[in-house]
Amino acid sequence: EDFSGEEEYFEILTEPADFSDLRKALESKGYNFLQAEVQMVPQTTTTLTDPKQVEQMNKLIDNIEDLDDVQNVYHNWEENE
């Protein structure tokens, strides 16, 4: 598991198979959750620096999200700030 703490909350990353047991263990210790869910987290990321590529990627993601059958869009792209 990976653990990081902020001022008023903690973020814990664990394998999906361990999620339920970890959540139950923390709840039994009295911890409350703002959010607790299994998420898709990329192992590697790709950064786009070309403004045209960034625009194309945003358009692609928007178009995919607009499809009726699509519920979630996952990607490993990060925009260069």
For residue 1, name the pLDDT band (cuts at 50, 70, 90): low
Tell me the per-residue pLDDT of 33-78, one tens digit each, with 9 for 90 and over.
888 999 888 999 999 989 999 999 999 999 999 999 999 999 999 8
pLDDT at res. 64? 97
pTM over 0.75? The answer is: no
Q: Where are the domains of the chain?
A: 1-39, 46-79
β-strands 77-79, 46-48: how paired?
parallel
Residue 4 scores a pLDDT above 80? no
Label residue 42 exposed, middle or buried (CB < 10 Å: 0-12, 13-18, 19+). Answer: exposed
pLDDT at res. 73? 94
